[in-house]
Amino acid sequence: MFTTWTAHCVQRWRRSAAAARAPRCLSAPTARTWAVASRRYRPAQRLQGPARTEPRMSGVNGGLAYDIDEQQLPDQIKPLVQMIVRGPDSPAAFIDAMERIADWLWQQQQSANDRGTRPPDTLIPFLVDSLGYNNPVAARIALDLLVRLYGKGAVPVLLQGVGALNYAVNAYALRALGAIGDADAVFTVAKQCALRGPIPNVRRAAVRCLAQLKYEESANGRARCEDAVASLSSLVGDPDWTIRYALVWSLSHLLHRKFIEKPEITNILAHIANQDADVVVRARAQRALAQFNEATSSPASSTARCVHAADT
């Protein structure tokens, strides 16, 4: 009886501890569901023996549930995908595998263009899930494929990545969504993450994403753009200086977009440049204002320089 009661108490303690670690982002599951999911999708142990060849679920990083149709993969690519799904042997092996996978996918794209078809999309969830290893070089390869190769076709899976159980996947997915720029599909999620994201890394990515969305191509582009400026302006007093720095970057980026009231943004930047508590944030706001003033006074001579500076 005592043993049973002790086991029951330990089980309840483990559940409460897991629930306490649940992310408090709006797009995340409830704490109890997260506790169950975190046990289900904990990092897998290294597999022993021969690699599995049938389609399998991967939840090693972000808890993304998907099946890989390995019948669409050639023999030289299949073991690379399996190795990454199990857990890369080393960072160097991970990068090498991603480069070889990327080369194959770009070859498939070329062949698809010649045939008038589309490249296989079976690896889109795999590419999003691979962002969870937090390897910057491999993540850059995956992001390039998701943005340039798949584009809007990757948006549904990337949105799942924003709500995944891995902060690296959340932030990288928001970066990819910003680069793709589908305002109709992404605006609401990016706004929620910018205002109520779980950690600064995710919030910074969401703040930048709001400035990169292609509002000109959206049916309600003007209203969404005005909403984005209003939401970003509410972060002027955020206690995290990195969020305020990302805010300045986003406002300076929006200055060169349509549907924008330029005096409203310049007033916000002037307030930050004069009153922000951090010298780095003030300097970045002063730089953004100077570049905008230079561009408006002499567009022909400074447009290229201003566009380049908006990316930093």
The domains of the chain, with CATH numbers, are: 52-151 (no CATH), 181-312 (1.25.40)
Report the pLDDT value the prediction gives residue 134, as an integer from 0 to 100: 82
What whole-number distance in Å separates Cα of residue 64 and Cα of residue 141? 19
CA distances from 258 to 40, 218, 286 (A): 46, 12, 22
Q: Report d(CA 56, CA 253) in Å as an integer.
A: 42
pLDDT, residue 298, reads 62
The CA dihedral of 115, 117, 119, 125, to the nearest 10 degrees, is: -170
Mean pLDDT, consecutive 10-residue stretches, the chain (312 aa), reads 46 46 43 37 32 42 72 88 88 95 92 76 91 92 96 94 90 96 95 94 97 91 91 94 96 84 91 95 95 75 46 56
Return d(Cα 249, Cα 239) in angstroms, integer: 17
Place of tokens 């349509």: 258
The pLDDT value given to residue 257: 79
Provide the CA 176 distance to its chain's centre, in angstroms. 5
| Residue 120, burial from CB neighbour count under 10 angstroms (0-12, 13-18, 19+) | middle
pLDDT for 272: 96
Token pair listed for 301:
């001579």
